Amino acid sequence: MDQKENEKRGKKPKVQLVPIPKWIGKFPFPPEEKRFVVIHRGDELSGFYGFEGHQVALRRFVSLDQFTVSQWTLSPGNYYEPAGQHNYGDEIYYFLEGDPVAFAPETGETYQLHAGDALYIPQGTRHQIFGFGDQKVVAISIVAPRIWAAEDKMGTIIPPVAKPRFYKAGEGK
């Protein structure tokens, strides 16, 4: 049974549990071994965030006890899903390429951004980025103080937004 059928029957969508990756808080070394280091191309941790077909390609440079720094790339005409949410830190995106649209699914607010802009995302705020144009979107992401809490043994729960709010231009809340 898919999510739409569940919604029709009044059933809540399942919550996705994301396990804590082993590198969180200790890449490129444990916090007690902090030292000056250069992270060359190829030394970072690469991976993906999101569901197949709606992912961003990630390059993780540093994840220590007080911050995590990554670069992500969104292909042209795409968006990432599920919406991100960080319960233990604020996040900032600095856009290097593209003209993305930031979307807050719980409020319906959207923000047009451009290369050279930054977006501040307070702790606990759901967020998604859409790349409606024909250019890829590339951003640097910094989460501080923590992307996950050490005491959160099970990982981060990403609750689905059953019905995101969308507004037409000029509509009020």
What is the arithmetic mean of pLDDT over 53-61? 93
| Single-letter amino acid, residue 26 | K
Q: What's the pTM? A: 0.79
Domains and CATH numbers, the chain: 57-149 (2.60.120.10)
As a whole number of angstroms, the distance between CA 93 and CA 122 comes to 11
| Single-letter amino acid, residue 7 | E
What is the arithmetic mean of pLDDT over 1-27? 62
Question: Sign of dihedral through CA atoms 81, 82, 83, 85?
Answer: negative
**113 neighbors 95 (Cβ within 8 angstroms):** yes
Condensed to tens digits (0 to 9), the pLDDT of residues 12-23 reads: 555 555 567 788
